[in-house]
Every structure is written in structure tokens, then in C-alpha cells.
């Protein structure tokens, strides 16, 4: 069946872990007859959570694409993980969706994961509706959950339904949009329509009036008609609601029990009848300009997700933004200028794919074995040189060094990590010469644990995470003068150089060194941050200027491997003001060595100081967890910057040394039962305390001694 973009709905399910996204999708697939039997999370047989690790953990860890045909529409459904550790999977899915379904747990209310996802919904300007799930839970409280949601997300949330009898005996929903009560059989499925009980009519009518007013507000003609008649007919109501949802001026709230399959069919009917299609959304932003949805335009697709499958290879998930994409199309990758052939085009239902002849603008599909196309790449027919604005992936939040027992395994491990980076742009591998470690940066401990599981399972490689080293810096706090003579004689030509220098802390705009005659100044920006200021102050030719570069090179050698802990040195001014040379035995090597040793001696005499990276930490948590979190931060040398409220949550801001943040993701999860989230950003380098400085110097000496032995 050839579709029009108006017949397509692209829906992404969002919500905190265990809010019931996967179960609700399973019920929707069943109601649409895409499956003949509903699977469950406990049985590990849902369409969405098909991977072994998801079935073991009983939670979604990857985004999945599915679809159903409902009435005259194709509804593309994307399931996403509930943990913010997998934010990359969530953001890539939101990029191509035209509607977000925010699932809330009626027993737990608005949880922190949902709060964080709402921030992304707002950034993407994504239309959304809310589903308060698990109305059958013994502790279900629809009214409290709705009140929390409105308090946190605003008065644009408008209830369209409410459960008639929430709790263990839940079996009926009052629908204020259609002014009817749906009563479900014990095993769920198709409900019986009944009149709203007399005691509930006033409440339902008030809700209905609010819905009609919200619909009328989105169109001047509808508003005029509403004022004249006091009501809108069904088509007018649907049109007004569609416009309101599309421009995020209203967010409908529904209710259901996904486990009992009560309410899912009504939600799908609303998606089909009222919710915006790709054609109802605004143009997609390009790196330069915008692209309107046009089925008759040139073919353009955007790859939002990449996976590697055994026996298949690379699998690319994409959205068609213009034209029609057909099997056999030759496309140009506008991101790297490579050419790609679409040997086959597929639609997806979890792990199952079905080949189709083409896909139109607005639809989601899958291609396999593309040669050199990746997540965030735009492909189009030749001559249509545009790039869709990429998905904005966040910076990593935790880090861990990786270690294998032998070199061969390590080389294989690096290759395996690079493959998974192709799938997950939020994963960063740092091969640090500075720290002499290979460090993985991720979104949380669960994120890194999943990577380890997959590599060990898919590649048979065992590796361990170890504590990553800290990128300390070394500097000085006062001025010091020193001299060093390098003299070596072992038959024939020898080596001779003597260097007198002054070292001082450097800062922009500082005055020239007192008592010295500056002949030349060089300012080098250091790749690790800060500066080396090198002043040549030789008067009278005691050292030939041709040895200036050699002395500077010697200084730089020691700045790369600092005197205290082997860390980089920063923000230092060195003034060479005297010395001696020999007409035969002086050479570049001699002055380089003399420069190194003079700098090392002066450094120790100049109030040497170790600096550590300090990060700004922001934690979002529930009120009852505040005490434990604050107590834990005190053990981590944190400086509390402030506390605030955000919705129903508390926000803590602190500055914490990076050295104290190892395993923080796991600690926070343990303290709060997974109901807190954190972000961290580099803030500054700050001096360590004297006791920590002595400890670091001692550790470095011990390590250096081991290496010498």
C-alpha cells in the first residue's frame, strides 16, 4: 500500500524505568493484530526486548523500531530505555519522532527519569501525550500522579480520561473526550461502551469542556464557532486538538493498564485520528536552512541509529525526510561525499525485518550493509547537497580505564570498542599518552557494564575496568633562581653547558622580571592548557643565542613530565639570564640537559604545587535522599554551591575533585534506589591540599622506583 505522509505516525515511548513502556507497546501490537499473543517482561518474550541481556535484566537497554497498521494509518513505534545511562538511544529516537508518549507509573508518580526526558522533549519541540499506566496497581493514585505531572510540566497537560476504579479491581475508564465509559473484560482487550455513572457526570463534563476550550484556542475560526455554539463537532474538535498537539500548546493525558491490556486500543485510536503526522510538523532544520516535508521532492534520508548484527553486519535505521526511497537507489552521503546503494529497504518489527519496495517521506525504515554511512549522516540523490542538523549527544559523565592480560587481546579489544562506538556516539575512547592509559568515557556504570557484557559475549574477549589516573597539573607559586652545570668528559670531545635561570608563576600582563635585561620573549600555548613564557636575558654573550632553542627544549622536556608526579607543568615563566659555554665541548645536547636539570632544581625551590581537575556536579534527587547524598559528598571533598527545588525534586550543586568521582554513578544509584540523576562538567584546576600533595609525590616515587627495577 502506497502511503501519504499524512497516514504515518512516528511515536517514541519515553519514561522512567519500569513505567511500563514495553508492556504498553506489546498490548498495542496485540490490539493491532501485529502479534497473536502478548509477551511479558517476566517471561522475556516481548517483541521489543528481544536481546539476551534485556531479557536477563528485565529492562530495555536499546531503542527498537516496530510498526502497526491501525485503521488507515501506519504507526511507527520506537521503544526506548528508561535509564538515562542510555541517553544516546533516547535522543536518536526523539530526533525522528513526531510524537512522544510519556509513560508515568500511577503508583510512583512523576519520577526523576521522566523529568530528565521532559527536558529533551522541550529541546526537540516534540509534541507529546501522557499515559498514566499501571492503574491496576494496589497503590495506584491517578489524581496524585496527574497533579504532580501538571505541577512539573505545566497546565498545558489536560486529562482526557481517568480510571473509574483504580487499584486491584481496575476495569473501567471514563473518557471525557467522547463522554463514555469503557468497561473491560477481566483479561482486557475490547471494552464495552457504557454511560458514564451519574455520580461521575459532572467531573467528566468539566474535563470535556476543558478539552473543547483547548481545541478552540488553536484556531480563530474554531474559537469563533465555539463562542457562538458553546461546542465543537467531532471533526472540528479533532482538527483543533491536532493543531494544539503539533505546536505543543496542549498535552493530552490518558490512563491504562498495559499488563491487563486495558486502554491501549483507545490510545492507538487517538494517535490515528488526532495526533500529528510528519506532514503536520514544522520543517526539519539543516546545517544551513530548513527542509520541508515533500513526498514529491528529491529523496533525502537521515540515519539516526546504527547497529552491528552477527551474520548481517551494519544495520542502519533512517527516516525519509523528502521524496521516496526505493530499493536499488544510488545515493550520495552528503556528510562524507561517499556513494551508497540501497540494495534493499526494510520495515522493522523488533528483531524481524520485512523487505518493501519503497518508503515515502515521513516514514522510518532500515537498510543493511551500507559501506561508509554512520549515525547523523544525511544521504540524498546526487546534486542535492544538504545535511540535516545532527543529533546533539551529551558529554560523558563517568570514566574507567580498560585493561587486558595480553597485548593481542588488547588490540582486539580496541577494535571491538571502535565497532560499538559506531553504534553509540555517547561512548568515547581516549587513548591517553599523558596518563598512559586507555580510558572509556560513558554515561553511567550501567552503560559501561553493558559495553563489557557485549564485548565479552560477542567477541569472547575478557577485560577489566580499573581506576583511571587523574590528569593532574604541576605549577609553582613563587620565584626561584638556580644554576646548573653539565660537564661530561670521556675521551675526545666532551659536553659542557652551564645555565642560570629564574622561574616564576606566569600570568597574563605581568611585568618583566626585576633586575634582568630582557632581549627576547617567547610565549607558547601548551596543548594541555596554560602557557610557557621563555625569556632570553643573556647580556654579553656568556651563552650564544644559538643554544636558546636547546635550553627551551630541555625545559619543555621536564614540563611534559613534571618533577613532582610526572604530570604536565603549566603557567610558568623561565628567564635565562647567565651561564657559560666552551668553544669545543658545548653543543645542543649539553645545553638541553643543563636546561632540564636547572628547571627541575628551580621548580622544587619555587613553591611547587600540584593542581587537580575539579568538576561542577549537579544532582537531581528526591527529598528523602538529600541527607545521604550530602553526607556522601562530604566524604568526597565536595564544596556545596547551593540547593534548589526543581518540580518535585531537589537539586544539589557542588564542586568535586575528579579524583573523588570514581564509581559515583554506582554509589548514587545505591543510595537512591536508582531515583536520582547527575551531570558533571569541568570547572577548574585547583591546588590540592598539602597532605594529598605529599601522598601523590610518594606514590609517584614508588611507581618510578618499580619501573627502574
What are the start-end ranges of the H helices in 585-625? 588-605
C-alpha cell at 460: 569472547
pLDDT confidence of 641, banded at 50, 70, 90?
very high
Contacts (Cβ under 8 Å, ≥6 apart) of 287: 386, 387, 388, 389
In eight-state DSSP terms, residue 581 is: -
pLDDT confidence of 226, banded at 50, 70, 90?
low
For residue 113, the Cα-to-chain-centroid distance in whole angstroms is 13
Greater pLDDT, 233 or 659: 659
Question: In the prediction, which pLDDT does 406 show?
Answer: 86
pLDDT confidence of 228, banded at 50, 70, 90?
low
588 has pLDDT over 90: yes
- Residue-averaged pLDDT of the chain: 92
Question: In the prediction, which pLDDT does 591 show?
Answer: 97
What are the start-end ranges of the H helices in 285-437? 407-423
pLDDT confidence of 229, banded at 50, 70, 90?
low
Cα separation, 77 vs 99, whole angstroms: 10
Question: In the prediction, which pLDDT does 440 show?
Answer: 96
C-alpha cell at 134: 499501571
709 has pLDDT over 60: no
Four-point Cα dihedral 82, 86, 88, 91, nearest 10: 10
Q: Give the domains, in start order, of the chain with CATH numbers.
A: 5-280 (3.40.50.300), 288-380 (2.40.30.10), 398-469 (3.30.70.870), 474-607 (3.30.230.10), 610-691 (3.30.70.240)
Q: What are phi and psi of 386, to 5 degrees?
A: -130, 155
Question: In the prediction, which pLDDT does 536 show?
Answer: 96
Element (H, E) at 644: strand 639-646
Cα separation, 142 vs 124, whole angstroms: 28
pLDDT confidence of 548, banded at 50, 70, 90?
very high
Question: In the prediction, which pLDDT does 230 show?
Answer: 65
Four-point Cα dihedral 631, 636, 639, 642, nearest 10: -50
707 has pLDDT over 60: no
Cα separation, 577 vs 589, whole angstroms: 19
pLDDT confidence of 491, banded at 50, 70, 90?
low
374 has pLDDT over 80: yes
Greater pLDDT, 676 or 255: 255
Report, as an integer, the average pLDDT of 83-97.
Answer: 95
Strands 572-580 and 495-505, bridge-based pairing: antiparallel
708 has pLDDT over 70: no
Which residues, in sequence order, are bridge partners of residue 686? 612
- Residue 61's SS3 state is coil
Contacts (Cβ under 8 Å, ≥6 apart) of 427: 88, 396, 417, 420, 421, 440, 441, 442, 447, 451
Contact 122, 128 (CB under 8 A): no
Length of the chain: 709
For 222-239, letters b (16+ CB in 10 Å) and e give bbebbeeeeebeeebbbb
Question: In the prediction, which pLDDT does 492 show?
Answer: 64
- Residue 687's SS3 state is strand
Question: In the prediction, which pLDDT does 115 show?
Answer: 83
Q: What are phi and psi of 263, to 5 degrees?
A: 110, -10
Strands 8-14 and 73-79, bridge-based pairing: parallel
**DSSP per-residue string spanning 320-353:** EEESEEETT-EEEETTT--EEE-S-EEEEETTEE
Question: In the prediction, which pLDDT does 225 show?
Answer: 66
Cα separation, 383 vs 337, whole angstroms: 11
- Residue 226's SS3 state is helix
Q: What is the pTM of this model?
A: 0.86
Cβ neighbours of 111 (radius 10 Å): 23
Cα separation, 382 vs 395, whole angstroms: 34
C-alpha cell at 345: 529497504
Of the candidates 117, 18, 147, 12, the residue with the CA atom closest to the CA atom of residue 67: 12
Cα separation, 479 vs 415, whole angstroms: 48
As a whole-number percent, the residues of the chain with pLDDT over 90 amount to 77
Question: In the prediction, which pLDDT does 163 show?
Answer: 97
Question: In the prediction, which pLDDT does 3 show?
Answer: 81
Of the candidates 410, 408, 343, the residue with the CA atom closest to the CA atom of residue 370: 343
Cα separation, 199 vs 670, whole angstroms: 46
In eight-state DSSP terms, residue 31 is: H
Greater pLDDT, 111 or 172: 172
The separation between the first and the last C-alpha atoms of the chain, rounded to the nearest angstrom, is 75
259 has pLDDT over 60: yes
Contacts (Cβ under 8 Å, ≥6 apart) of 341: 328, 329, 330, 331
- Residue 659's SS3 state is helix
Question: In the prediction, which pLDDT does 57 show?
Answer: 87
Contact 142, 255 (CB under 8 A): yes
Contact 344, 45 (CB under 8 A): no
Question: In the prediction, which pLDDT does 241 show?
Answer: 93
Contact 97, 391 (CB under 8 A): no
Report, as an integer, the average pLDDT of 280-297.
Answer: 91
Quick one: 500 exposed, middle or buried, by C-beta within 10 A (0-12, 13-18, 19+)? buried
Cα separation, 454 vs 476, whole angstroms: 46
Question: In the prediction, which pLDDT does 673 show?
Answer: 80
Cα separations (Å) of 34 from 188, 348, 360, 451?
Answer: 17, 12, 21, 32
Amino acid at each position: 500500500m502506497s502511503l501519504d505522509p499524512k497516514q504515518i505516525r512516528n511515536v517514541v515511548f519515553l519514561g522512567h524505568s519500569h513505567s511500563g513502556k514495553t508492556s504498553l507497546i506489546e498490548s498495542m501490537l496485540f490490539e493491532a493484530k501485529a502479534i497473536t499473543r502478548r509477551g511479558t517482561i517476566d517471561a522475556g518474550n516481548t517483541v521489543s526486548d528481544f536481546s539476551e541481556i534485556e531479557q536477563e535484566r528485565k529492562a530495555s537497554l536499546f531503542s527498537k523500531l516496530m510498526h502497526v497498521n491501525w485503521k488507515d494509518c501506519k504507526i511507527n513505534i520506537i521503544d526506548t530505555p528508561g535509564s538515562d545511562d542510555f541517553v544516546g538511544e533516547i535522543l536518536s529516537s526523539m530526533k525522528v519522532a513526531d510524537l512522544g508518549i510519556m509513560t508515568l507509573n500511577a503508583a510512583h508518580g512523576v519520577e526523576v527519569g521522566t523529568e530528565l526526558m521532559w527536558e529533551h522533549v522541550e529541546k526537540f519541540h516534540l509534541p507529546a501525550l501522557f499515559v498514566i499506566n499501571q492503574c491496576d496497581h494496589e497503590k495506584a493514585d491517578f489524581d496524585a500522579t496527574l497533579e504532580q505531572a501538571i505541577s512539573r510540566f505545566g497546565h498545558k497537560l489536560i486529562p482526557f480520561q481517568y480510571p473509574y476504579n483504580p487499584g486491584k479491581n481496575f476495569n473501567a475508564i471514563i473518557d471525557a473526550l467522547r463522554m463514555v465509559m469503557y468497561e473491560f473484560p477481566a483479561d482486557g482487550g475490547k471494552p464495552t461502551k457504557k454511560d458514564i455513572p451519574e455520580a461521575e457526570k459532572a467531573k467528566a463534563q468539566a474535563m470535556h469542556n476543558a478539552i473543547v476550550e483547548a481545541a478552540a484556542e488553536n484556531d480563530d475560526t474554531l474559537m469563533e464557532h465555539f463562542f457562538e455554539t458553546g461546542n465543537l463537532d467531532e471533526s472540528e474538535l479533532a482538527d483543533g486538538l491536532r493543531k494544539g498537539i503539533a505546536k505543543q500548546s496542549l498535552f493530552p493525558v490518558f490512563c491504562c493498564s498495559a499488563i491487563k491490556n486495558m486502554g491501549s486500543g483507545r490510545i492507538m485510536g487517538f494517535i490515528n485520528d488526532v495526533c500529528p503526522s510528519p506532514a503536520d510538523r514544522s520543517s526539519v532544520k539543516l546545517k544551513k536552512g530548513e527542509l520541508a516535508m515533500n513526498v514529491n521532492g528529491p529523496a533525502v534520508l537521515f540515519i539516526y541509529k546504527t547497529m552491528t548484527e552477527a551474520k548481517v553486519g551494519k544495520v542502519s535505521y533512517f527516516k525519509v525526510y523528502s521524496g521516496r526511497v526505493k530499493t536499488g537507489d544510488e545515493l550520495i552521503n552528503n556528510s562524507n561525499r561517499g556513494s551508497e546503494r540501497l540494495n534493499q529497504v526494510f520495515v522493522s518489527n523488533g528483531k524481524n525485518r520485512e523487505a518493501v519496495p519503497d518508503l515515502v517521506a515521513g516514514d522510518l525504515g532500515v537498510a543493511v550493509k551500507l559501506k561508509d554511512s554512520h549515525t547523523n549522516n544525511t544521504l540524498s540523490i546526487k546534486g542535492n547537497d544538504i545535511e540535516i542538523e545532527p543529533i546533539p549527544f551529551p558529554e560523558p559523565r563517568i570514566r574507567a580505564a580498560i585493561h587486558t592480560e595480553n597485548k593481542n587481546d588488547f588490540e582486539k579489544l580496541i577494535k571491538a570498542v571502535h565497532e560499538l562506538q559506531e553504534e553509540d556516539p555517547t561512548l568515547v575512547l581516549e587513548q591517553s599518552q599523558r596518563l598512559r592509559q586507555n580510558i572509556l568515557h560513558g554515561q553511567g556504570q550501567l552503560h559501561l557494564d553493558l559495553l563489557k557484557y557485549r564485548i565479552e559475549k560477542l567477541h569472547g574477549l575478557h577485560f577489566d575496568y580499573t581506576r583511571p589516573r587523574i590528569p593532574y597539573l604541576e605549577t609553582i607559586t613563587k620565584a626561584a633562581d638556580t644554576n646548573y652545570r653539565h660537564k661530561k668528559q670521556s675521551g675526545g670531545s666532551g659536553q659542557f653547558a652551564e645555565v642560570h635561570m629564574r622561574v616564576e608563576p606566569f600570568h597574563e600582563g605581568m611585568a618583566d622580571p626585576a633586575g634582568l635585561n630582557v632581549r627576547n620573549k617567547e610565549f607558547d600555548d601548551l596543548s594541555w592548557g596554560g602557557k610557557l613564557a621563555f625569556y632570553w636575558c643573556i647580556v654579553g654573550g656568556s651563552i650564544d643565542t644559538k643554544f636558546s632553542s636547546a635550553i627551551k627544549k630541555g625545559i619543555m622536556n621536564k614540563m611534559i613530565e613534571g618533577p613532582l608526579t610526572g604530570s604536565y607543568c603549566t603557567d610558568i615563566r623561565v628567564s635565562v639570564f647567565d651561564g657559560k659555554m666552551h668553544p669545543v665541548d658545548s653543543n645542543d645536547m649539553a645545553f638541553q640537559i643543563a636546561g632540564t636539570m636547572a628547571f627541575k632544581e628551580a621548580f622544587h625551590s619555587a613553591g611547587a604545587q600540584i593542581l587537580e581537575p575539579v568538576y561542577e556536579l549537579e544532582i537531581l534527587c528526591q527529598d528523602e535522599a538529600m541527607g545521604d547524598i550530602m553526607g556522601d559528598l562530604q566524604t568526597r571533598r565536595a564544596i556545596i554551591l547551593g540547593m534548589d527545588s526543581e518540580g518535585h525534586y531537589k537539586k544539589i550543586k557542588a564542586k568535586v575533585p575528579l579524583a573523588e568521582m570514581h564509581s559515583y554513578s554506582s554509589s548514587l544509584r545505591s543510595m537512591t534506589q536508582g531515583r536520582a540523576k547527575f551531570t558533571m562538567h569541568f570547572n577548574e584546576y585547583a591546588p590540592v591540599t598539602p597532605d594529598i600533595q605529599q601522598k601523590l609525590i610518594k606514590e609517584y616515587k614508588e611507581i618510578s622506583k618499580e619501573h627502574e627495577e
